[in-house]
Each structure stands twice: as C-alpha cells, then as structure tokens.
C-alpha cells in the first residue's frame, strides 16, 4: 500500500491533522471517510465484493465503494473519485447522511471513521478495477437484509453498520429524485 495520507478529525468532523492511512488504521484514530451506495432504476443496490488481496476485508461483500478524501479534497469529490477508481462509474452523487463508527477488523486494524454517505441512481454497468473489487451484483435491499441475517460474516463490518440506515434513507432519496 502506498503512503496515502488521510484527514484526522474530531467527533464533529473538524480536521485535527493528517496521517498515513495504514498507520491511522493501526492506531484506530478517528478520520474522515466516504461511503457510496448506487442503486439501479429498480432500486436494487449495487454491491461490491472487495478484491481478495485487499489489506483487510478481502473477499467480503460491501457497499458500492468507499474510501478517504485526500487532504484538501472535498468529501463529494472523494466519493465521486473513488466510485470511478473502484467501479469505473462517473456519477454525480447526492450527500445523504453522516455517521461515526469504531469497528475492529479481523487483522488487528480498526475502522474508526467519521463517514459521509452518498447515494446515486444509475443503470450503468460497472467496470471493475481488479485491484479494488473481484465482483459486483445488484440485489434488492430486502434480499441483502435477509442475507445479512443468514451470514453476516460475508459482509464488511462498516457495511453492516451503515446498511441498517439504508432502507429508510432510500425511501427519502427516491421521493426527492
């Protein structure tokens, strides 16, 4: 993994510094993140299966994409950049909500993030970056919820945490669009 810096923040998402991404995850420090959920016109969620050789959570299913803003990069730009880098999709995203979580990973790293969550609707098919994702699929939100109940270990911890808010947020989003 290259030496990418992320933005350290306080509990109100105010920047407090910057640090190399892996070090932040090793120390479990709160930092800014972006999470993207893309739905098709039938309101099915575009899921990503993380590349099996990722430094954590490889092979697990997750939201469409996620990542971290660079220092001096807006969360909107970071979310749209990561969507293109991971899934090959260029979409305008809508900010939906923010949340914070502190989740231990299986390899000793910690996802302690202040997350900005974005939505989009598109029927464009992804063009996966094989360094980021092994596979993708569309699934009804209800089906994903049932799958989570049956096998939560098939999903990333942050997806499990954020997904609980998705059905209600999707209703709100589709009323606006």
Q: Which residues of the chain have pLDDT under 50?
A: 1
Q: Quote the pLDDT of residue 1.
A: 43
**Residues spanned by the domain of 125:** 5-170
Residue 22 lies in a domain: yes
Is 20 part of any known ligand binding site?
Answer: no
The answer to whether the annotation marks 112 as part of a ligand binding site is: no
Asked, for residue 176, whether it belongs to a domain, the answer is no
Q: What is this structure's pTM? A: 0.94
pLDDT averaged over every residue in the chain: 94
Residue 177 lies in a domain: no
Q: Return the active site residues.
A: 66, 113
Does the annotation flag 72 for ligand binding? no
Q: Is 31 annotated as a binding residue?
A: yes
Domain of residue 69, CATH code: 3.90.79.10
Q: How far is the C-alpha of 89 from the C-alpha of 24, rounded, in Å?
A: 28
Residue 11 domain-assigned (yes or no): yes
Contacts 24+ apart (CB under 8 A), 4-9: 4/68, 4/70, 5/70, 5/71, 6/31, 6/32, 6/33, 6/68, 6/69, 6/71, 7/31, 7/32, 7/68, 7/69, 7/71, 9/114
Q: Is 87 within a domain?
A: yes
């Amino acid at each position: 993994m290259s030496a990418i810096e992320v933005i350290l923040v306080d509990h109100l998402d105010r920047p407090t510094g910057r640090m190399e991404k892996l070090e932040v995850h090793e120390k479990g420090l709160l930092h800014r993140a972006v999470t993207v959920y893309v739905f098709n016109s039938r309101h099915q969620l575009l899921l990503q299966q993380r590349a099996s050789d990722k430094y954590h959570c490889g092979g697990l299913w997750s939201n469409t994409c996620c990542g971290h803003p660079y220092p001096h990069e807006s969360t909107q730009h970071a979310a749209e950049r990561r969507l293109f880098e991971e899934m090959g999709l260029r979409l305008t995203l809508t900010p939906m909500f923010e949340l914070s979580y502190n989740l231990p990973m299986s390899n000793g790293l910690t996802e302690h993030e202040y997350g900005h969550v974005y939505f989009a609707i598109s029927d464009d098919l992804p063009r996966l970056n094989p360094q980021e994702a092994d596979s993708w699929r569309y699934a009804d939100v209800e089906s994903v919820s049932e799958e989570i109940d049956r096998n939560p270990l098939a999903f990333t911890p942050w997806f499990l945490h954020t997904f609980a808010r998705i059905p209600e947020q999707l209703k709100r989003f589709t009323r606006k669009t």
